[in-house]
Amino acid sequence: MKSDCIKTIVCQERKKDPIEMFCSGRLVKVCAPMVRYSKLAFRTLVRKYNCDLCYTPMIVAADFVRSLKARDSEFTTNQGDCPLIVQFAANDARLLSDAARIVYPYANGIDINCGCPQRWAMAEGYGACLINKPELIQDMVKQVRNEVENPRFSISIKIRIHDDLTRTVDLCRKAEATGVSWITVHGRTVEERHQPVHYDAIKIIKENMSIPVIANGDIRTLKEAENVWQITGTNGVMVARGLLANPAMFDGYEETPLRCIWDWVDIALELGTPYMCFHQHLMYMMEKITSRQEKRIFNALSSTSAVLDYLTNHYGI
């Protein structure tokens, strides 16, 4: 990992600084932290198609600190993987600061997951339950700032909103006062899953902040991203499922182009992506361009060679 450290520092010296991006006045396009999916190979792919900033999947800070095996399996990067934010699930300031110290040489910053609504995460004191614990968030931010003194190393949070938006604004103001670099707002409450996103709430939060704010939730096309950016007045937009379905979305494609599919094949094979992940990404990408019968055939394939044969026979190289 020492060589990766050197390469990452070189990358940072090329001025790929997230804070500078957010202050540029243009739309900053962000790939969300997605469990199992937003790993190095997928980040490499979306960066080819105009994605400005990528997050790792959520990593449990306690496991990351205590287990070398967890570190090796959960976090990989390389020279081109920049700028990069490592997202952690944490409920302990000391463990989070230890985790931040470990990834500091290889990333531009860390993000604290304060928005995951899954029951297991909230039962462990992670994710969206933290929006009701502003003092704990403040303590975690302070500890990381004390551990990593470089002011260019960002500390951000990703949140959901309260039913009472004044509580969310208060939370964000406290986080800002403690030294948070930016805040990503998913415009739904903890209880909401598929209900419309409250972009008006994101706009109000942005109007009350001096630091950058990223809008998140139900963005599927570049046009939608630009509309949300304009409506909310935020500094950027974060996309999850929209990028899974179309990794070239930020480059203006309405559906995944064949070139992007072959780019994924090349990247995944080069980086040794496990078959399940390799195949699953292709199923997402090909959702809109295959018939129901073709989906049944493709989804049943069980080996890399079978997938390559199918793609070659149906779409050429």
For residue 316, the model assigns a pLDDT of: 79
Per residue of the chain (317 residues), what is the pLDDT tens digit?
433 443 444 454 445 789 999 999 999 999 999 999 999 999 999 999 999 999 999 999 999 999 898 899 899 999 999 999 999 999 999 999 999 999 999 999 999 999 999 999 999 999 999 999 999 999 999 999 999 989 899 999 999 999 999 999 999 999 999 999 999 999 999 999 889 999 999 999 999 999 999 999 999 999 999 999 999 999 999 999 999 999 999 999 999 999 999 999 999 999 999 999 999 999 999 998 899 999 999 999 999 999 999 999 988 76
- The pair phi, psi for residue 112, each rounded to 5°, is -100, 120
Q: Which CATH superfamily is domain 18-246 in?
A: Aldolase class I (3.20.20.70)
Domain boundaries, the chain: 18-246, 258-315
> Is 116 considered catalytic here?
yes
For residue 315, the model assigns a pLDDT of: 86
Could you tell me the pTM of the whole model? 0.93
For residue 15, the model assigns a pLDDT of: 53
Q: Which residues contact 210 (CB under 8 A, 6 or more apart)?
A: 176
Binding residues for FMN: 33-35, 87, 186, 240-241
Binding residues: 33-35, 87, 186, 240-241
Measured over the CA atoms of residue 281, residue 16, residue 61 and residue 214, the dihedral's sign is negative
Select which of 11, 82, 116, 172 is catalytic: 116
For residue 317, the model assigns a pLDDT of: 61
